[in-house]
């Protein structure tokens, strides 16, 4: 864990990298914990004689009912796990590269 003093002494580039790493860690943890909760709920439903589809419906039980997945249009060449659909706010990695003079077309998938 970083103290506020350590954070204040970091360069912007280091802070942006830390932010990217933190966002990715949060995304990973959220996905992992959702899977764990889904497994726990499935176990409770099974003990009661049901399955998740009986309780929540087919879309939600499969995990597909919350948001649609769009195809990625852009990919970070430095980290292929970072993608962007081109909708919504530009991710930090994209904004940083564009501010350094890169063209958005360079990152097209």
Question: Higher pLDDT residue, 60 or 88?
Answer: 88
**Confidence band for 67, pLDDT divided at 50, 70 and 90:** low
Long-range Cβ contacts of 60-69 (<8 Å, 24+ apart) = 63/34, 63/38
pLDDT at residue number 51: 87
Average pLDDT of the residues in 89-101: 93
**Confidence band for 63, pLDDT divided at 50, 70 and 90:** low
- What residues are paired with 76 via a beta bridge? 79
Q: For residue range 25-51, what is the model confidence (pLDDT) as tens digits?
A: 999 999 899 889 989 999 999 999 998
The answer to whether 84 and 90 have CB atoms below 8 angstroms apart is yes
Question: Higher pLDDT residue, 107 or 1?
Answer: 107
pTM of the model: 0.48
Residue 83: CB atoms within 10 Å: 19
Average pLDDT of the residues in 21-28: 91
Question: Higher pLDDT residue, 92 or 65?
Answer: 92
């Amino acid at each position: 864990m970083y103290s506020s003093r350590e954070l204040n002494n970091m360069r912007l580039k280091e802070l942006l990298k830390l932010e990217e790493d933190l966002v990715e860690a949060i995304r990973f943890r959220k996905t992992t914990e959702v899977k764990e909760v889904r497994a726990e709920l499935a176990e409770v439903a099974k003990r009661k004689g049901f399955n998740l589809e009986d309780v929540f419906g087919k879309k939600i039980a499969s995990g597909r009912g919350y948001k649609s997945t769009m195809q990625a249009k852009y990919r970070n060449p430095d980290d292929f796990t970072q993608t962007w659909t081109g909708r919504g706010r530009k991710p930090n990695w994209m904004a940083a590269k564009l501010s350094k003079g890169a063209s958005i077309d360079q990152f097209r998938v």
